[in-house]
Amino acid sequence: MAAHSLKDFKQQFLEHLEIEKGRSVKTTENYDRYLTRFFNFAKIDDPKKLTDSAVREFRLWLNRQESGAGQGATLKKKTQNYYLIALRAFLKYLRKRGVESLQPEVIELAKTGDRDLDLMSHAELDRLLAAPREALKKAKNPEDELKALRDTAILELLFSTGMRVSELCSLKRDTDLDRGEFSIRGKGDKVRVVFVSPAALQTVNAYLKARKDMEDAMFVSHPGGNQQPRPLIPRAVERAVKSHAVSAGISRKVTPHVVRHSFATNLLENGADVRSVQALLGHANIATTQVYTHVTDKHLKEIHKAFHGRRKE
């Protein structure tokens, strides 16, 4: 029997995302949550009753929801847009199926301000990369030594390649880094090539050589005792990076994604074109990459320095 309710269509849409579109399970779960919240609010189960006014009422309700950050803070526009993006994708799916409903084009995203990048200075980046080496000098047992070697390799590899933390955690031990480049499968199941610096290659090889376990993940936990190492998960990498940032005396929030920002800005500051950086980061849309250009355009800085504030004699 053909499905007629929004609930049934939503389930088919989520399966379409995961199977045909190759979206991750996490992305599919997020879309499910966003759509379910809208349907529960609007109390609609018929595609024909999904109207512009129902969406507008939902947007007003969303805009007044507390974010959980305290002091009466409401949901950020960017977070609100996640709901609208999911709904728009769902409506496009309905139209493709020939189901009569609201046209996706009527849903416009909320205006958001320029993305505020939390960038490290060059000195902070140098201190962060050096922090695990300092930890290695102070290591008191084999497990601490392995962790320090591992974290040195992780930070060097993150900065060398610009990888996402999820991509780093998916690497296998037998990945061939010796050629100075290798392929990774990123968001949307897209494959791209990343490049390994001599420093990153040296530190990864030193770490792998020191390991005695048989785990096939490139980066693993080192719990000590009789416990077996397990593949690192993104949260564990985030904790390690945060710990070394604190040790390095960096007061700002530092995450693997901040290291990815540093990778991108370093390339642009040294003359790389934005299209090349887009390819290296694995961004589907160049607008995502262009967020870096306003903080790295040396030419504009030099123009400002040369001409701003000058007075005619």
Q: Please, which pLDDT band fits residue 263 given cuts at 50, 70 and 90?
A: very high
Answer yes or no: is pLDDT of 202 > 90: yes
The pLDDT assigned to 309 comes to 57
Q: Please, which pLDDT band fits residue 115 given cuts at 50, 70 and 90?
A: low
Q: Please, which pLDDT band fits residue 287 given cuts at 50, 70 and 90?
A: confident
The pLDDT assigned to 1 comes to 33
Largest CA distance in the chain: 85
Q: Please, which pLDDT band fits residue 308 given cuts at 50, 70 and 90?
A: low
Task: Report whether CATH 1.10.150.130 matches the domain 6-106.
Answer: yes
**Catalytically annotated residue among 164, 222, 244, 261:** 164
Structure tokens at 305: 């320095």
Please give the average per-residue pLDDT across 145-155, as a whole number. Answer: 97
Q: What is the DSSP letter of 107?
A: -
The dihedral built from the CA positions of residue 145, 150, 151 and 152, taken in this order, carries a sign that is: positive
What percent of the chain has pLDDT above 90? 63
Please give the average per-residue pLDDT across 165-178, as a whole number. Answer: 95
Structure tokens at 286: 């160049």
In CATH, what class is 122-300?
Answer: mainly alpha
pLDDT tens digit sequence for 124-133: 999 999 999 9
Answer yes or no: is pLDDT of 238 > 80: yes
- Write down the pTM of the prediction: 0.67
The Cα 114–Cα 187 span in angstroms is 23
Q: Catalytic residue at 95?
A: no
**Catalytically annotated residue among 133, 187, 211, 230:** 187
Q: Catalytic residue at 257?
A: yes
Q: What are phi and psi of 242, to 5 degrees?
A: -60, -45
Q: Catalytic residue at 304?
A: no
Q: Catalytic residue at 283?
A: yes
Please give the average per-residue pLDDT across 32-40, as a whole number. Answer: 94
Q: Catalytic residue at 292?
A: yes
Q: Catalytic residue at 260?
A: yes
Answer yes or no: is pLDDT of 297 > 80: no
Helices (H), the chain: 6-19, 25-42, 52-63, 77-96, 122-138, 142-161, 165-169, 198-210, 234-247, 256-269, 274-281, 286-290, 293-296, 298-307
Answer yes or no: is pLDDT of 307 > 70: no
Q: Please, which pLDDT band fits residue 113 given cuts at 50, 70 and 90?
A: low
What are the start and end residues of each CATH 1.10.443.10 domain in the chain? 122-300
The pLDDT assigned to 291 comes to 77
Least confident of 216-220, 237-241, 305-309: 305-309
Chain-wide mean pLDDT for the chain?
88
Answer yes or no: is pLDDT of 193 > 90: yes
Between residues 12 and 77, the one the model is more confident about: 12
Answer yes or no: is pLDDT of 110 > 90: no
Between residues 186 and 194, the one the model is more confident about: 194
What percent of the chain has pLDDT above 70? 89
Structure tokens at 163: 């990888």
Q: Please, which pLDDT band fits residue 21 given cuts at 50, 70 and 90?
A: confident
The pLDDT assigned to 295 comes to 65
**Which residues share a beta bridge with 220?**
231
What are the start and end residues of each CATH 1.10.150.130 domain in the chain? 6-106
Between residues 290 and 255, the one the model is more confident about: 255
Neighbouring C-beta atoms of residue 211, cutoff 10 Å: 16
